[in-house]
């Protein structure tokens, strides 16, 4: 489990940028998959990786990758997956949330979820929902006094989930297995609760959910 991974991060925004920076520092090989690999915005995401990452099209990034990380805004998710080409047997970590643009709710849920939709778009991939229930500023910065933020994940492939658990620990969070992929129907509302407190209720991003056990 401690071998280095080739990780393609589809999307180089807040979430993908933060994950790429941290995983590059942990020794993984990071390639951002983006529509325009040479754009200034991509250069900005690459700068904190200190030469340890690259940018490519989604198809190029995906081809060599062990793990793909979907971290584009929800409306761009389907196109990003299509642009990645064949994902046969690849681990696809879905970090998205199907948010209404005004953050008033989720666009889908109850009888399906963003993650299940992603799995429909990428039927040959091993999809794990993760890194969606907390703001990206807490990646690598997840200590709250004596407690650590949890990283909830769910999926139907045990081996893929164990890779995600390791990647969760590498961003400083405690991995919590939240069950099968359909439980994204529960993790996506949890994400919106985090966002609602941070944005709609103006409490800022310095909070995190923790599952206490005894």
Positions touching a second copy (CB under 8 A) are 105-106, 108-111, 144-147, 149, 178-179, 183, 185-187, 189-190, 192-193, 196-197, 200-201, 206-214
Q: Nearer to a second copy by C-beta: 120 or 206?
A: 206
Please, what is the minimum distance in Å from the beta carbon of residue 102 to a second copy? 13
Please, what is the minimum distance in Å from the beta carbon of residue 23 to a second copy? 23
Please, what is the minimum distance in Å from the beta carbon of residue 77 to a second copy? 18
Tokens found for residue 28: 């993984």
Please, what is the minimum distance in Å from the beta carbon of residue 34 to a second copy? 31
Instruction: Centre a 10 Å sphere on the Cβ of residue 50 and count the other Cβ atoms it contains.
Output: 10
Instruction: Centre a 10 Å sphere on the Cβ of residue 59 and count the other Cβ atoms it contains.
Output: 14
Q: Nearer to a second copy by C-beta: 43 or 193?
A: 193
Q: Nearer to a second copy by C-beta: 3 or 111?
A: 111
Q: Nearer to a second copy by C-beta: 35 or 75?
A: 75
- What is the rounded distance in angstroms from the CA atom of residue 139 to the CA atom of residue 150? 11
Under 8 Å between Cβ of 3 and 29: no
Q: Nearer to a second copy by C-beta: 76 or 108?
A: 108
In terms of Cα–Cα distance, which of 40, 120, 30 is closest to 77? 120
Burial label, 76 (beta-carbon count in 10 A; 0-12, 13-18, 19+): middle
Please, what is the minimum distance in Å from the beta carbon of residue 211 to a second copy? 5
- What is the rounded distance in angstroms from the CA atom of residue 158 to the CA atom of residue 128? 10
């Amino acid at each position: 489990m401690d071998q280095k991974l080739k990780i393609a991060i589809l999307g180089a925004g807040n979430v993908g940028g933060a994950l790429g920076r941290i995983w590059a520092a942990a020794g993984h090989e990071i390639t951002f998959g983006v529509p325009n690999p040479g754009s200034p915005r991509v250069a900005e995401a690459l700068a904190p990786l200190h030469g340890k990452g690259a940018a490519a099209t989604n198809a190029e990034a995906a081809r060599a990758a062990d793990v793909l990380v979907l971290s584009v805004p929800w409306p761009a998710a389907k196109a990003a997956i299509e642009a990645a080409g064949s994902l046969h047997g690849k681990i696809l970590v879905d970090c998205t949330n199907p948010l209404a643009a005004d953050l008033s709710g989720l666009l889908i849920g109850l009888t399906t979820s963003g993650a299940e939709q992603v799995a429909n778009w990428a039927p040959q991939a091993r999809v794990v929902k993760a890194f969606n229930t907390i703001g990206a500023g807490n990646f690598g910065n997840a200590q709250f006094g004596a407690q650590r933020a949890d990283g909830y994940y769910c999926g139907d492939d045990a081996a893929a989930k164990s890779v995600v658990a390791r990647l969760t620990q590498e961003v400083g969070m405690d991995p919590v297995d939240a069950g099968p992929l359909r439980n994204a129907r529960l993790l996506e509302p949890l994400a919106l609760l985090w966002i609602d407190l941070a944005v709609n209720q103006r409490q800022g991003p310095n909070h995190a959910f923790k599952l206490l056990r005894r």
